[in-house]
Amino acid sequence: MLSRASLALLLALTACTRSPAPPPPEAPVTFTARALGVSLDSPANWPAREVAQDGGQFVVVEASPQERLVLSRLAGFSGSLEASEAQVAQQVAAKFPRTTTRPSQPATVAGRPALRTEVSLSSGQQGVRYLVTGGWVVEFQTRPDHAALVTPAFEQVIATLRLP
């Protein structure tokens, strides 16, 4: 028969060998960019920040150094998506060269008409760029070996995007 001390020790050791319960999923955090007037929900472990760079404002949601979402607005937006597509290609290519890997397709982002274009970045990363009515540009960038261009987590971020 086990003594009380032996039983307590046995129970304590048994508790130590059990695998702990998995942590609960991290709740999304709402991020609001004051200068751009947009907000979105991102996973708590993906930092979102507003960056002022090269005379423009950007929102960056970073899952890792090679996986990120970048949101910006075109300077001098012309009004039509098709005309703006050439404009965004010129503005972006000047600083961050990209090659279009598939022709643009119609899409919807934040309830607005958009054009979806798959791109290859000079760094070898893959990307998907959305040009959204109102001059908004949303680009996902991912590792070259990643199976999906847009992960479900990034789809959730874009689904919660609120534009002014």
pTM, whole model, 2 decimals? 0.76
Say which DSSP state 25 is in. P
Tell me which residue of 43, 48, 67 sits closest to 126, measured CA to CA. 67
* Long-range contacts of residues 4-9, Cβ cutoff 8 Å, at least 24 apart: none
3-state secondary structure of 159: helix
Report the distance separating Cα 5 and Cα 157, nearest Å.
53
Q: What is the CATH number of domain 26-159?
A: 3.40.1000.10
Q: Tell me the domain boundaries of the chain.
A: 26-159
Per-residue H/E/C for 77-132:
CCCCHHHHHHHHHHHHHHHCCEEECCCCEEEEECCEEEEEEEEEECCCCEEEEEEE
pLDDT recorded at residue 97 = 72
3-state secondary structure of 3: coil
CA angle 109, 106, 41 (to 5 degrees): 15
| pLDDT digit string, tens, across residues 9-60 | 445 555 555 555 555 556 788 999 998 999 999 988 899 999 988 777 899 9
Contacts of 120 (CB under 8 A, 6+ apart): 98, 99, 101, 126, 127
pLDDT recorded at residue 7 = 47
Please compute the mean of the pLDDT values over residues 155-160 and round it to a whole number.
91
pLDDT recorded at residue 19 = 52
| pLDDT digit string, tens, across residues 56-114 | 789 999 988 889 999 998 877 766 777 777 777 676 666 667 888 888 899 999 999 99
